[in-house]
Amino acid sequence: MPAPGAAKDDGSRTILLVEDDRLLRKAAESALRQRGFRVLTATNGDEALRTAAAEIPNLVLLDLVMPGLPGYQVLRALKDNDATAAIPVVVLTNLGQDSDVQRALDAGAVAYAIKSNLALKELVALIRRVLLTPGPPPGT
């Protein structure tokens, strides 16, 4: 099994999109699929953890504010589980305080993006940088 983030032979990558807002989830899912990504979705933290453990995606796009298990707890649980710890997590949220960013990075996120400031084209570029860059990704 390839390591999370590693290229598969056919070049396809699996993204787990964790977003409770249906319109945002559908728009991001569509944009990612059109660019060749396999997209799994979850609408809450518990579903995200189950899907990540079962599928081992190449990358997780994680909202922080969701019903049920909050994104920060999901992030910590992913990083505390040996099976999912190596999966890069990009936080995609509307929380923009410096303390929010730092808390997510400290918990193991590799990048942090503000939804309202990010076009889908920029999201795809960020994902590609994270997946193609060995080691820590370039800035968020």
Annotated domain spans of the chain: 14-131
| The model scores a pTM over 0.95 | no
Residue 36, token pair as written in the block: 């060749």
CA distance 55 to 134: 22
pLDDT tens digits, 71-89: 999 999 999 999 999 999 9
Q: Which residue do the tokens 């390591």 mark? A: 3
Residue 123, token pair as written in the block: 């999201």
CA distance 128 to 140: 12
Residue 63, token pair as written in the block: 């909202």
Lowest mean pLDDT among 1-5, 92-96, 122-126: 1-5
What is the pLDDT averaged over residues 24-43?
94
CATH architecture of 14-131: 3-Layer(aba) Sandwich (3.40)
The answer for 104, left when phi > 0, alpha when psi is -120 to 50, beta otherwise, is alpha
Alpha-helical (H) ranges within 1-140 are 22-34, 45-55, 71-80, 98-107, 120-132
